[in-house]
Amino acid sequence: MAENLDPLRGRVAWVTGAASGIGRAIAYKLAEQGARVGVIDLAEEAALHVAEKLGGSAIACDVSDAGAVRSATRDLEQRVGPPDILVNAAGIAHGEAVAGHDERSWRRVLDINLTGPFHFTREILSGMMERGFGRIVNISSGSGVRVGAGAAAYGTSKGGLIAFTRGVANEAAAAGVTANAVAPGLVDTPMTRQAMGDAEQLASAARSSDIGNPMGIVLQPEDIAHAVAFLCHPDSRGITGQVLHVNGGSLMP
Q: Which one, of 80, 26, 90, lies nearest residue 58 by Cα?
A: 80
DSSP string, 35-73: -EEEEEES-HHHHHHHHHHHT-EEEE--TT-HHHHHHHH
**Choices 89-97, 126-134, 172-180, 236-244 (CB under 6 A): range interacting with ligand NAP:** 89-97
- Closer of 11 and 119 to ligand NAP (Cβ): 119
Q: Least distance to ligand NAP from the beta carbon of 184, Å?
A: 4
**CA distance linking residue 175 with residue 232, whole number of Å:** 16
* 48 in Cβ contact with 54 (< 8 Å): no
**CA distance linking residue 135 with residue 229, whole number of Å:** 10
* 47 in Cβ contact with 76 (< 8 Å): no
Query: Chain centroid to CA 85: how far?
Result: 12
Q: Which of 41, 84, 123, 223 binds ligand NAP (CB under 6 A)?
A: 41
The catalytic residues are 154
- Closer of 21 and 212 to ligand NAP (Cβ): 21
> Degrees (nearest 5) of the Cα angle 120, 139, 79?
40
For position 56 contacting ligand NAP by CB under 6 A, the verdict is no
- Closer of 168 and 176 to ligand NAP (Cβ): 168
Q: Least distance to ligand NAP from the beta carbon of 20, Å?
A: 3
Q: Least distance to ligand NAP from the beta carbon of 38, Å?
A: 13
Q: Which of residues 11-40 bind ligand NAP (CB under 6 A)?
A: 16-17, 19-23
Q: Which of 13, 36, 51, 62 binds ligand NAP (CB under 6 A)?
A: 62
Q: Least distance to ligand NAP from the beta carbon of 16, Å?
A: 6
Question: Burial letters for 216-251: b for 16+ Cβ neighbours within 10 Å, e otherwise?
Answer: ebbbebebbbebbbebbeeebeeebbbbbbbbbebe
Q: Least distance to ligand NAP from the beta carbon of 54, Å?
A: 15
Instruction: Provide φ and ψ at 152, rounded to 5°.
Output: -60, -45
Q: Which amino acid is at 246?
A: V
Q: Which of residues 163-202 bind ligand NAP (CB under 6 A)?
A: 184, 186-187, 189-192
- Closer of 19 and 37 to ligand NAP (Cβ): 19
Residues near ligand NAP (CB under 6 A) are: 16-17, 19-23, 41-43, 61-64, 89-92, 112, 139, 141, 184, 186-187, 189-192
